Amino acid sequence: QESVTLEGFELSTELRSQAEQESGLGPRTLPATAASAVLLGEHVYSSRACANKPSVGCARLRWSHAPAQVVSVLAAKLRTRLKPWPSAQGDGYDIGMVSFGEVSANSMLAGAKSSNTAWTWVKRLGGAFLIWVGWGLVLGPASYIASWVPLLGKLVGCLLGVVAFLVALTHSLTVIAIAWFAHRPMMSLTLLAIAAGISFTGYSSLRSSRGASYKGI
């Protein structure tokens, strides 16, 4: 089994996968003794038939190498091994990082924190967008029915799009607030207040518009 060591410490499988940067090292030509072999890209096939339609008994070879380079590792030391620190949150949250070049521990942690923050916001915005799409689909039949009336379809569709956006925004803020309540109660309460304000403003605007339409009639 392959092993990678760093100053006498063997890297675990998780750390080794981060440190490996393999590149192809395939031959450009084949020797005369390999007359039946076929070279396609970085792979060497045992015969032309195997290259066209692989079957049992065929062989495919590929050469690669990982060039020696300087890496920095942030991990737990366990006797003669380096492995990620276990996390109380379970698998997938262990802390073990490998950076190429000489990088300090503070820089590695700062980079990981920045990356984690960016990825968290991507998931939040993506979730909010999907909620908006979901509410748009829920209100879609009303927009379709209104489209049968000339000039009314576009107006109703635009109005329902705004309604779906406001409902989705309130929905998303509420979900985020509930998720943060245990760790950031003040932020959670602030988001709930904002969601309540958006709901109240939207409801008040809707009632005002309905009252104005009734007076006009």
pLDDT in tens, 119-143: 888 988 898 899 999 988 888 888 7
Model confidence pLDDT, tens digit, residues 154-178 = 777 788 888 888 888 898 889 888 9
C-alpha–C-alpha distance, residues 26 and 67, integer Å: 15
Closest residue by Cα to residue 133 from 163, 164, 157: 164
Hey, which residues does 73 pair with through a beta bridge?
Answer: 98
Strand bridging mode 43-45 / 60-62: antiparallel
Q: Which ranges of the chain would DSSP assign to H, the alpha helix?
A: 13-19, 48-52, 105-138, 140-146, 152-180, 185-216
Q: Give pLDDT, residue 176.
A: 87
pLDDT at 31 over 50: yes
Contact assessment for residue 213 and residue 191, using Cβ atoms and an 8 Å cutoff: no
Strand bridging mode 9-11 / 60-62: unpaired
Q: Is 44 helix (H, G, I), strand (E, B) or coil?
A: strand
Q: What is the mean pLDDT of the chain?
A: 79
Total length of the chain: 217
Q: What 8-state DSSP symbol labels residue 104?
A: -
pTM of the entire predicted model? 0.59
Closest residue by Cα to residue 186 from 125, 137, 74, 194: 194
Burial label for 168, CB within 10 Å (0-12, 13-18, 19+), is buried
